[in-house]
Amino acid sequence: MAQVVQSMAKEAGFDVKIQLTEFATTLNLADKGQYEAFVLAWSGRADPDGNIYSHLVSKQPLNYAGYANAEFDKAITESRETNDAAQRAKLFEQAAKVEHRDRPIVYLYHRQWLWAHTNRLQGFRPVPDGMVRLQDLKLN
């Protein structure tokens, strides 16, 4: 992925240098803010909160971009305070509008999950986050 970005940036006149590190070092550098651009893969979560709160709410542990927006934080925090699905959807939509305007993170792609399994496996249901749920799985 870094090489693709490097190649595309070169076409636009930018000289991107790639620094490869093992994962623990990468996270350590990210925690310290010692990067100009940072690539992190995230499996995602079925509930939007798991994809948003820690990554984009002010001063949260995975908010490597240092994003801080009170309007965004308010919408996400309120979404955590209700069980009403329609209300949560409205709040996530409000937060998404703010995030799309501010663009604190550049999302490069979304992984397309491919699954293969024997016909003997029953109860498998693919979920957009790509994490396999073992409940209700049965091998006949």
pLDDT, mean of residues 125-135: 86
User: Predicted confidence band at 5 (pLDDT cuts at 50, 70, 90)?
Assistant: very high
The pLDDT score that the predictor gives to residue 127 is 84
The pLDDT score that the predictor gives to residue 55 is 92
| Residue-averaged pLDDT of the chain | 92
Q: In terms of DSSP H, where are the helices of the chain?
A: 2-11, 23-32, 49-56, 70-79, 85-102
102-116 residue pLDDT tens: 999 988 887 888 999
Indicate the pTM of the whole model. Answer: 0.76
Residues 61 and 81 sit within 8 Å (Cβ to Cβ)? no
Lowest mean pLDDT among 10-19, 37-46, 67-76, 122-131: 37-46
